[in-house]
C-alpha cells in the first residue's frame, strides 16, 4: 500500500482532517453516530451494497447442497462428505486467490474467480439433477473453492480509505462483522425456504445469481478499490510477526462456532424440536450482530492486543451460559436466552481479531492475511463440529456444551501470549 499517495478517492473538498465531510451548517453539532459518518465516505454505500449481495450466498451454499444432495440421493453422509470436501478445497485455494487479489487488484481477480466458482455450483446442480456418479459431486463442489473472500475485500477497502483514522477502521470492522452475522443468519433460512418451497436446486441457483450479481456490482466500484502493490513479496503473512499466534486464536474461535452449531441442533432434536435448532442458533447470531454494532460505536483506548485478550476472556465466560442453561433447566427457551447472551461476545472478539490482522499483515498483502484468518476459522469450525458431534454421541448434548467452553478457553492462550509477548509494529496508518 502506498502510504505517500494522497487520499484523492474519498476526501472531498472542505472535508475535516478526519476524512469525513463537514456539516453544511458549521454551527450545527457533528453527527454522533459513527456509522452515519462512515457511510459519508464517497463510494462507501455503493461497494457495501454490492458486497452484501455477494456475501449473502455464503450462508446459503452449504445447506442448499446438503438439502439438494440428501433429497436426491437419500444420503446425509454423502451430502456431508461433499460439503466437507468443498471446505477443505477452500482452505487450500482461498489464500492463493487472495494473494492474486493483492497482486493484481480486486476487480481483475474477483470477477473471473467468481465465475469459475459459479460454474462449479451450476455443475453440481446439474450432476444432482441428472443423476451423475457420486464422484462428480465432489469434483463440482471443489471447483467452488475459488469463491473470493468478499468480506475480506470489503474490509481491505475500509482499511485503505480510512487508513489515517484508526477509530473509523474500528467502526468499519464492527459493521462488517455485523454484516457477516446477518448474512449467516438469513442465508440458511432463505436457502431452506427456497429448497423446500420451490425445488431442491432452487437454493443453489439463487445463490449463484446473487453471488455473481453482487461481485459484479462490487468490482464496478473502482474508485474505492485499494491500489495494488507490485513490490516483490518478502514473506507470506503467515510468517509475519504475531500472525501465527493470532491464527491459532482464530482456529480456536472457529471451533467455538462449529461445536455450538452441532450441539445445539442435537439438543433440540433430543427434545423433539429439530426444526427449532436453527431458530435458536439464529438468536446467537442476532446477539453477536447487535453487540458488534454497539461495539463499533465505542472508542476503545487500550492497546488492541489487550482488547483482544479481554474479548476472548468475555467470550469464554459467556460460553458457559448455554452449558448452565442446558444442565439446569433443559429448556429450549432458557437455552435460547443463554445463546443470545453468549453471542454478544463473539462479534467484539472477531472485530478486534480482524483489526489485529490488519495491524500485523505486511503492506500490500491484506487480502491474503484476512483470508488466512478466515481459513483458520473454517478449519476450527470443522474441528469443533467433529468434537461436538463425538461428545454428543458419547455423553449427550447437554454435556457436549462443554466443547465450546473448552474451545474458547483454548483461544485465551494465544490471546494472552500476543498481549504479553508481541511488541507493537511500526504504525502503518490504518489500524490501531
CATH superfamily, domain 231-423, is MFS general substrate transporter like domains (1.20.1250.20)
Which CATH class, in words, describes the domain spanning 44-230? mainly alpha
Q: Cell numbers 504504525 label which residue?
A: 427
pLDDT bracket for residue 5 (50, 70, 90): very low
Is the pTM higher than 0.85? The answer reads: no
pLDDT single digits (tens) 411-427:
988 888 877 765 555 44
Whose CA is closest to 265, among 276, 251, 254, 250? 276
* Mean of pLDDT values over 274-289: 74
Mean pLDDT for 1-14 is 38
pLDDT in tens, 82-132: 887 887 888 888 888 988 888 888 889 999 999 999 999 999 999 998 888
- pLDDT band with cut points at 50, 70 and 90 for residue 272: confident
Cα–Cα distance, 23 to 34 (Å, whole number):
14
pLDDT computed for residue 274 by the predictor: 58
C-alpha grid cell, residue 396: 449427550
Q: Which of 50-59, 209-218, 285-294 has the highest mean pLDDT?
A: 209-218
Cell numbers representing residue 392 in the block: 454428543
The CATH 1.20.1250.20 domain(s) of the chain lie at 44-230, 231-423
Average of per-residue pLDDT across 66-75: 80
pLDDT given at position 49? 92
> In Å, how far are 300, 313, 423, 427 from 303, measured between CA atoms?
8, 16, 11, 13
Residue 8: pLDDT band with limits 50, 70, 90: very low
Mean pLDDT, all residues of the chain: 80
Side-chain half-sphere CA neighbours of 253 within 13 A: 32
What pLDDT score does 273 carry? 66
* Burial of 171 (C-beta count, 10 Å sphere; 0-12/13-18/19+): buried
Using 50, 70 and 90 to split pLDDT, how confident is the model at 278?
Answer: low
Q: How many residues does the chain have?
A: 432
Amino acid at each position: 500500500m502506498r502510504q505517500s499517495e494522497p487520499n484523492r478517492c474519498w476526501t472531498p473538498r472542505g472535508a475535516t482532517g478526519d476524512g469525513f465531510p463537514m456539516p453544511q451548517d458549521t454551527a450545527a453539532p457533528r453527527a454522533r453516530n459513527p456509522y452515519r459518518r462512515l457511510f459519508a465516505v464517497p463510494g462507501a454505500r455503493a461497494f457495501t451494497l454490492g458486497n452484501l449481495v455477494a456475501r449473502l450466498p455464503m450462508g446459503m451454499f452449504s445447506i442448499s447442497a446438503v438439502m439438494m444432495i440428501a433429497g436426491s440421493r437419500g444420503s446425509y453422509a454423502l451430502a456431508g462428505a461433499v460439503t466437507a470436501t468443498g471446505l477443505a478445497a477452500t482452505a487450500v485455494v482461498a489464500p492463493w486467490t487472495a494473494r492474486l487479489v493483492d497482486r493484481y487488484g480486486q476487480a481483475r481477480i474477483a470477477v473471473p474467480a467468481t465465475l469459475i466458482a459459479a460454474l462449479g455450483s451450476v455443475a453440481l446442480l446439474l450432476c444432482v439433477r441428472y443423476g451423475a456418479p457420486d464422484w462428480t459431486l465432489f469434483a463440482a463442489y471443489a471447483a467452488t473453492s475459488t469463491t473470493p473472500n468478499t468480506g475480506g475485500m470489503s474490509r481491505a477497502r475500509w482499511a485503505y480509505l480510512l487508513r489515517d483514522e484508526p477509530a473509523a477502521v474500528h467502526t468499519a470492522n464492527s459493521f462488517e462483522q455485523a454484516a457477516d452475522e446477518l448474512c449467516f443468519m438469513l442465508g440458511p433460512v432463505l436457502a431452506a425456504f427456497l429448497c423446500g418451497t420451490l425445488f431442491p436446486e432452487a437454493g443453489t441457483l439463487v445463490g449463484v445469481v446473487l453471488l455473481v450479481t453482487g461481485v459484479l456490482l462490487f468490482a464496478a466500484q473502482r474508485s474505492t478499490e485499494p491500489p495494488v502493490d507490485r513490490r516483490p513479496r518478502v514473506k507470506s503473512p503467515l510468517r509475519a510477526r504475531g500472525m501465527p499466534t493470532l491464527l491459532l486464536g482464530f482456529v480456536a474461535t472457529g471451533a467455538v462456532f462449529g461445536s455450538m452449531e452441532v450441539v445445539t441442533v442435537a439438543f433440540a432434536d433430543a427434545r423433539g424440536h429439530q426444526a427449532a435448532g436453527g431458530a435458536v442458533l439464529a438468536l446467537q447470531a442476532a446477539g453477536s450482530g447487535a453487540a458488534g454494532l454497539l461495539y463499533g460505536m465505542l472508542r476503545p483506548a487500550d492497546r488492541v492486543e489487550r482488547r483482544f485478550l479481554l474479548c476472548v476472556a468475555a467470550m469464554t465466560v459467556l460460553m458457559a451460559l448455554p452449558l448452565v442453561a442446558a444442565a439446569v433447566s433443559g429448556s429450549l427457551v432458557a437455552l435460547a436466552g443463554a445463546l443470545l447472551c453468549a453471542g454478544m461476545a463473539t462479534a467484539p472478539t472477531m472485530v478486534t481479531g480482524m483489526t489485529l490482522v490488519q495491524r500485523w499483515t505486511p503492506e500490500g498483502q491484506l487480502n491474503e492475511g484476512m483470508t488466512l484468518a478466515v481459513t483458520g476459522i473454517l478449519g476450527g469450525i470443522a474441528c469443533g463440529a467433529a468434537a461436538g458431534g463425538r461428545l454428543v454421541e458419547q455423553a449427550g448434548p447437554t454435556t457436549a456444551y462443554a466443547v465450546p467452553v473448552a474451545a474458547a478457553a483454548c483461544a485465551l492462550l494465544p490471546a494472552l501470549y500476543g498481549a504479553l509477548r508481541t511488541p507493537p509494529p511500526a504504525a502503518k496508518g490504518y489500524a490501531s
